[in-house]
A = this chain, B = another copy of it.
């Protein structure tokens, strides 16, 4: 399977391993090693240990630089949303990594190949192998194809909050003046409804409603983001 994996990496990511043994190790589960004793095979866990730390740093560095005004608490929440099993297992599937895992028979029968926890491990161990073989810059290049575009696609908005995401989105290419304006409010005091619009350089780009100004603003930001991203496509 390593040959096909090497082809996949070369075709889709321009990655060429100097030492394919590392790649083999990164895609081999312990169950496979147990079924093939005396072949000097290694399984992925040690490389995954390293890959996990490589991903932590690469993602941290990227969001640190990209969001220069984001306070530490929000950086941490964003990183946690990006660096987790649910995200990594999806990235692994997107790269078709599930096809190349070497599993023992029992694990195969138990459906391990599509198990999110294994896919997450394999994504991390692949990063570890890439780091060992090609260095940090190669990891950054790969991650900038596979993970970072998801930020613009809104995968992790929930971790920061829509207002922050909208601000970052609009200010990517320079300063934009963003304002939230209450355009309507009605209902009794204990069930007040607010309608808010968000403006970019005095032009309305989204609207939202809510039982507090804050909720209405959030919804307006989400509404604007959705529309802007559709335009961007």
CB proximity of A223 to chain B, nearest CB, Å: 30
Q: Which of B46, B49, B61 has a CB less than 8 Å from the CB of A50?
A: B61
Asked if A53 and B61 make an inter-chain contact with CB atoms under 8 angstroms apart, the answer reads yes
The answer, yes or no, to whether A113 is at the interface (CB within 8 Å) is no
Closest to A83 in B: B53
Whole-angstrom distance between the alpha carbons of A199 and B136 in the complex? 42
Q: Which of B45, B57, B72, B75 has a CB less than 8 Å from the CB of A54?
A: B57
Closest to A59 in B: B53
Asked if A49 and B60 make an inter-chain contact with CB atoms under 8 angstroms apart, the answer reads yes
Closest to A43 in B: B72
The answer, yes or no, to whether A8 is at the interface (CB within 8 Å) is no
Interface string of A41-70 (1 = CB under 8 A from B): 000011011101110110011001000001
Known: A46-B72, A48-B72, A50-B64. 10 other contacts (CB 8 A): A46-B71, A49-B60, A49-B79, A50-B60, A50-B61, A53-B60, A53-B61, A56-B56, A56-B57, A57-B57
